[in-house]
Chain A
Amino acid sequence: MSLIHIAWRNFCHRALSSFLTTFSLALGVGLVVLVLSVYGVISEAFTRNASVGYNLVVGPKGSPLQLTLNSVFYLSQPIENLPYTEYMEFLPQAERATMVSRFGGDPELAKRDGRYAPFVAGGFAIPLALGDYFGEFRVVGTTPAFFKELKHGPNVDEDFTFRSGRALQDFSTENGYFEAVVGARVAKQMNVTLGEKFYPTHGDPTGHGHELGFTIVGILDPTGTPNDRAAFVNLEGFYLMDGHAKPVETDAESDNDSEDVLDEAIDAEEASDAEEANEGQPESDPNTNTEASANNGVRLIQSDITPEQANNLTDEKQSDEYRLLSIPEREVTSVLIRNGNIMFAPGMQNAINEGIRSQAVAPIGEINKLMNLIVGPLLTALLAITVITCAVAAVGILVSIYNSMNDRRKDIAVMRALGARRTTVTAIIVFESFQVALIGTILGWILAHAAIVMYSGQIEDQTGVQVGFFTTSNYEILVLPLVLALALIAALLPAWSAYRTDVGSNLSA
């Protein structure tokens, strides 16, 4: 008969006590595993969010964390904007020329490469314009490139896929400039379907509504990234919404002379002042600031068309009714950059950060900082508490086995009389403790993972991280050795007592 079998028999003999001890340990282990899983889910959610296929976010100077929260997570207070020309600095001459001719702006812009274009070559620069809301979700003005270039998934190699529909287009015959794609969670929570129109609200989730609606042409599959929580609209349509054009003063053309940093700084000030003035301005009273409203809002020529006429208009004609904003009127909140060659990233980041207007931030670094600063310590504290719970459970093992030692001295003496060594009877005690540890750990693991599976739907909804019964975090591997070590410590005292048991006096007792 093996010693483990002997230990098991002893375990079964005191079934109730063994069960209670094991169960209290299982609860402790379950808590630890649960915390570790939550930790795993959170850190995976964070890294997933950080691995979106771009390596830098460029935005206005300010808090790098806030820029990241805005651009990567679509969270936090809205930030300042950058002039469109800052975005154009990442583009090659040919693209800049197209923009100048399409939107209108300083012809000088068309004549050269963007300052950072060589660094980006082979990668991409995708503009984001934030500020509006669809329900509680951020509206993200961007270009079709967003869905073409950005990847996600653990290896950052998965394209965006659509549960239904397609990516938004710059211009389509059926919807003009007003196409939208919504993330999986937005679609679910706002209960919208393909073809529906939604009307972004301005400034904050409770802000007043814009008059222009965007037609939903695509609903994304869940990605486990903040993109699930965003409503994407075509940047051109976004600009056409009331209040989204930057007021342009006659001398604001100096904006294009981006070499002049002092002017840039002043422009930024003015731009933000004007923006604030616009935001404070109620929709119903568009004439307070005549200068702003002259260039402001939707260029929908509707005064002399009846609804019937509007319905009869052809798509092309409809598009003619809008004048796309000129370059000086345009702003972006941030630009997502992937350098064609990652080795150019640090140099470009430095160059941008040395400037006065923009900053370039590596989102992974910011996310890790956030993780290490806030989430990490919180979870560590939680983990410490649960480990203490386990230690308490281990004390339970100690008490349970030690209490049984009085009844067992005779058993030990008998085994010694049958030829068992001191070390053998000691080992049996340790095995018993290990047994409790092993069963408790397995039971606790099962309990925790069953709980996780029960909530896996919510977890995926909230974080996009898929968890199954056998999804384990790396740290969980450490639980068993840890508990076994605790069990060994708990067994020391009773084991020592077993080791010292006197045979003669206990045999006749």
Chain B
Amino acid sequence: MTQLLEIKDLLKSFAQPGGGNLAVLDIPQFQIAEGEQVALIGQSGGGKTTLLHLIAGLLVPDIGSIRIGGVEITRLSEQGRDRFRAETIGYVFQTFNLLPAFTALENVRLGMTFGSGKHKHERAADLLAHVGLKDRLNYRPKQLSVGQQQRVAIARALAGRPKLLLADEPTANVDPNSAESVLDLIRGTCREEKVSLLTVTHDMQIASSFDRLETLDEINQVTHANASAS
């Protein structure tokens, strides 16, 4: 199995407001294979979001290597990472983060606006139809339920045909009834589009349905990140 994501000897710390550094992540090794679906669980404040930001190239590690599809993204310039992210990474947020000024369709099209890849115009509408929002194309986020908003966000994350979808607690803000269907949708769509998936959650029940379940505590050597300031 070829690895899509390979992380080696990754260190990330933050400068603290009071001075000194807070080590958040120390990951000797972590991989995701192509097409694989991984659930990552961990306590709040453990550094899950930080890890996703690092993989997406929104943050840079102190040291260490992050390879995605053979590209060492820590060596890319900021612009290079932006471009790489636009073309390779899909991101689903806990709070959906739809842009309120845009319709559902436009929000999805934003997902394929910033990359250089040419995507068919109809793809946005097709994706929305796929997530069950065929008749909500021109609704504003405000006019959609939270579950529907997260579906739009999923369609947006996949619009640019990424290789890796990062989902940061995608069901945390969705009511329990839709949570399962939202997750099913993410997993099903990723399978169809042959996209690898890394889902962060602190919901054991959701995590346990994944083939591969990782605990941040196990891959991260910084323990009690909240408590231990070094």
CA distance A504 to B82 in the complex (A): 14
Per a CB cutoff under 8 Å, which of B50, B85, B95, B109 touches A419? B85
User: Among residues 142 to 199 in chain B, which have CB atoms less than 8 Å away from a CB atom of chain A?
Assistant: 156, 160
CA distance A1 to B89 in the complex (A): 19
A416, B59: Cβ atoms closer than 8 Å: no
A419, B53: Cβ atoms closer than 8 Å: no
CA distance A414 to B56 in the complex (A): 12
CA distance A424 to B82 in the complex (A): 10
Set of chain B residues within 8 Å of A504, measured between Cβ atoms: 50, 53, 58-59
Q: Mark B92-134, 1 if CB is under 8 A from A, else 0.
A: 0111010111100010011101110000000000000000000
Set of chain A residues within 8 Å of B85, measured between Cβ atoms: 417-419
Set of chain B residues within 8 Å of A6, measured between Cβ atoms: 110, 113
CA distance A6 to B111 in the complex (A): 13
Size of interface on B: residues with Cβ below 8 Å to A: 32
**With an 8 A cutoff between CB atoms, is A482 at the interface?**
no
Given A416-B58, A419-B82, A419-B85, the answer on whether A424 and B100 have CB atoms closer than 8 Å is no
Set of chain A residues within 8 Å of B50, measured between Cβ atoms: 504
Per a CB cutoff under 8 Å, which of A413, A420, A507, A508 touches B82? A420
B101, A418: Cβ atoms closer than 8 Å: no
CA distance A507 to B93 in the complex (A): 8
Set of chain B residues within 8 Å of A419, measured between Cβ atoms: 82-83, 85-87, 89, 114-115, 160
B110, A418: Cβ atoms closer than 8 Å: yes
Set of chain A residues within 8 Å of B87, measured between Cβ atoms: 419
B114, A410: Cβ atoms closer than 8 Å: no
Given A422-B78, A504-B58, the answer on whether A1 and B99 have CB atoms closer than 8 Å is no
**With an 8 A cutoff between CB atoms, is A265 at the interface?**
no
Set of chain A residues within 8 Å of B215, measured between Cβ atoms: none
B114, A418: Cβ atoms closer than 8 Å: yes
**With an 8 A cutoff between CB atoms, is A503 at the interface?**
yes
Set of chain B residues within 8 Å of A417, measured between Cβ atoms: 56, 58, 85, 91, 93, 97
Residue of B nearest to A419 (CB): B86
Residue of A nearest to B157 (CB): A418
Instruction: Kindly specify which of A9-17, A203-211, A218-226, A241-249 makes contact with the partner chain.
Output: A9-17
**With an 8 A cutoff between CB atoms, is A102 at the interface?**
no
Smallest CB separation, B196 vs chain A (Å): 18
Set of chain A residues within 8 Å of B78, measured between Cβ atoms: 421-422
B101, A508: Cβ atoms closer than 8 Å: no
Per a CB cutoff under 8 Å, which of B94, B99, B102, B115 touches A508? B94
B110, A415: Cβ atoms closer than 8 Å: yes
Set of chain B residues within 8 Å of A415, measured between Cβ atoms: 99, 110, 114
Per a CB cutoff under 8 Å, which of B79, B93, B94, B106 touches A1? B106
CA distance A415 to B110 in the complex (A): 8
B111, A418: Cβ atoms closer than 8 Å: yes
CA distance A9 to B107 in the complex (A): 11
A418, B86: Cβ atoms closer than 8 Å: yes
Set of chain B residues within 8 Å of A421, measured between Cβ atoms: 78-79, 82-83, 114
Per a CB cutoff under 8 Å, which of B59, B97, B115, B156 touches A410? B97
Smallest CB separation, A45 vs chain B (Å): 49
User: Among residues 394 to 424 in chain A, which have CB atoms less than 8 Å away from a CB atom of chain B?
Assistant: 410-411, 413-422, 424
CA distance A280 to B71 in the complex (A): 105
**With an 8 A cutoff between CB atoms, is B49 at the interface?**
yes
CA distance A243 to B176 in the complex (A): 110
CA distance A39 to B89 in the complex (A): 59
Smallest CB separation, A245 vs chain B (Å): 85
Residue of B nearest to A417 (CB): B91
Per a CB cutoff under 8 Å, which of A1, A10, A418, A422 touches B91? A418
Given A1-B113, A418-B156, the answer on whether A13 and B49 have CB atoms closer than 8 Å is no
Q: Mark A289-310, 1 if CB is under 8 A from B, else 0.
A: 0000000000000000000000
Residue of B nearest to A8 (CB): B101
Set of chain A residues within 8 Å of B53, measured between Cβ atoms: 503-504, 507
Q: Mark A9-37, 1 if CB is under 8 A from B, else 0.
A: 11011000000000000000000000000
Given A419-B86, A420-B82, A504-B58, the answer on whether A13 and B101 have CB atoms closer than 8 Å is yes
Smallest CB separation, B145 vs chain A (Å): 20
CA distance A14 to B49 in the complex (A): 31
A9, B102: Cβ atoms closer than 8 Å: yes
Smallest CB separation, B199 vs chain A (Å): 16
A13, B100: Cβ atoms closer than 8 Å: yes
CA distance A75 to B179 in the complex (A): 88
CA distance A414 to B85 in the complex (A): 12
Set of chain B residues within 8 Å of A508, measured between Cβ atoms: 49, 93-95
Set of chain B residues within 8 Å of A413, measured between Cβ atoms: 97
7 shortest interchain CB distances as A-B pairs: A419-B86, A13-B101, A419-B114, A420-B114, A421-B82, A414-B97, A9-B101
List residues of A whose CB falls within 8 A of some B CB.
1, 6, 9-10, 12-13, 410-411, 413-422, 424, 503-504, 507-508
List residues of B whose CB falls within 8 A of some A CB.
49-50, 53, 56, 58-59, 78-79, 82-83, 85-87, 89, 91, 93-95, 97, 99-102, 106, 109-111, 113-115, 156, 160
Q: List 24 A-B contacts (CB under 8 A).
A: A1-B106, A13-B100, A410-B97, A411-B101, A415-B114, A417-B58, A417-B85, A417-B97, A418-B110, A418-B114, A419-B82, A419-B83, A419-B87, A419-B89, A420-B86, A421-B79, A422-B78, A503-B53, A504-B58, A504-B59, A507-B53, A507-B58, A507-B97, A508-B93
**A-B contacts besides A13-B100, A419-B87, A507-B93, 20 pairs, CB < 8 Å:** A9-B99, A413-B97, A417-B56, A418-B85, A419-B86, A419-B89, A419-B115, A419-B160, A420-B86, A420-B114, A421-B83, A422-B82, A424-B114, A503-B58, A504-B50, A504-B59, A507-B58, A508-B49, A508-B93, A508-B95
